[in-house]
Amino acid sequence: MTTLHPTRSVTAIALLVLAFLQIPVLVVILASFSETSYLTIPPQGVTLKWYEAVLSDPTYLRAIKNSLILACASTAISLVLGVAAAYALFRRVLPGSEAITSLLISPLVVPSVVVGVAMLQYFTLTGFRGSFMVLIIAHVVITVPYILRSVLASLSGLDLSVEEAARCLGANGFTTFRLVTLPLIKPGLVAGALFAFVTSMENVPVTIFLASAKQTTLPILIFSSVEMGVNPSVAAISTLLIVATALVLLVAERWTGFHKFA
């Protein structure tokens, strides 16, 4: 009787677990090609009409536009704030750096629903609820921690002597940071930006408390559609999101190798 090598056994189990986790994704992708107006597995026939319906529906197009604008804006702001905070904390120019780091990362620990309810109460009391800028601020709060963590991880492997060499050659602080530090921490920046963008794109618990009817994002629209009954159009837009996310991650990994800081 032959026995599997321990390493091979662990690998086989890991592959089985990964395959099991991908079953729901496979089901969604297959259902998006079904000719029937309801979800069936295996799909009854093959058609692209649900993709055409989604991409020609003004409601879906508006929701996609809102989600992209929100995700891009919050990611850009989070990059500026997160990188600045990470560098300051890394160089320990602020007293109580560990406490500040824990505070900035706390949105990752607090449940999203709690964050959403807290922001709803705050913006209602201040009278700013209903503005698209409120959504951006809320998404910045929940995306900054991802950039902070990845950039801090990237900075931890930074050789400070490189910065000192640039200073000795006449570069000022900003030039040194822009031309020396930023290129060295690029994988951490890309990893943090991707996580921030994806988190903003798929967020429901925080957005649903703050968005108005005109500010419906794609995840909220999908959530509402599922409540009224699942149909292949929901599977089609979900498949498009899966494919787009996979392509972006693949390109980013090939470009920077960001998995080291993810």
In the predicted structure, residue 73 carries a pLDDT above the cut 90: yes
Q: Tell me which DSSP letter residue 106 carries.
A: G
Instruction: Give the predicted TM-score (pTM) of the model.
Output: 0.81
Q: What is the pLDDT of residue 211?
A: 80
34 SS3 class: coil
Lowest mean pLDDT among 14-23, 58-67, 122-131, 138-147: 122-131
- The percent of residues above 90 in pLDDT, for the chain, comes to 7
In the predicted structure, residue 244 carries a pLDDT above the cut 80: yes
Question: What HEC string does 142-199 produce?
Answer: HHHHHHHHHHHHHHCCCCHHHHHHHHHCCCCHHHHHHHHHHHHCHHHHHHHHHHHHHH
Whole-number CA gyration radius for the chain: 22
Segment 20-58, tens digit of pLDDT: 888 888 888 887 787 777 666 676 777 788 888 888 888
Domains of the chain by residue range? 58-261
205 or 212: which carries more pLDDT confidence? 205
Q: What is the pLDDT of residue 260?
A: 55
Question: What HEC string does 52-88 produce?
Answer: HHHHCCHHHHHHHHHHHHHHHHHHHHHHHHHHHHHHH
If you average pLDDT over residues 74-84, what whole number do you get? 91
Q: How far apart are the first and last CA of the chain?
A: 42
Q: What are phi and psi of 210, to 5 degrees?
A: -115, -20
Lowest mean pLDDT among 69-73, 116-120, 151-155, 221-225: 221-225
The CATH code for residues 58-261 is 1.10.3720.10
Give the whole-angstrom CA distance, residue 43 versus residue 34.
Answer: 4
Give the whole-angstrom CA distance, residue 78 versus residue 151.
Answer: 12
Give the whole-angstrom CA distance, residue 77 versus residue 86.
Answer: 14
62 or 4: which carries more pLDDT confidence? 62
Q: What are phi and psi of 248, to 5 degrees?
A: -65, -45
Which of 69, 57, 20 has its CA nearest to residue 237? 57
Alpha-carbon distances, residue 173 vs 61, 94, 148, 154, 177 (angstroms): 44, 17, 21, 19, 6
Angle between helices 186-202 and 232-256 (to 10 degrees): 170
Segment 133-181, tens digit of pLDDT: 888 998 999 999 999 988 888 888 777 777 778 777 777 777 877 778 8
pLDDT band at 1 (very low <50, low <70, confident <90, very high): very low
Q: What is the pLDDT of residue 93?
A: 67
Q: What is the pLDDT of residue 175?
A: 80
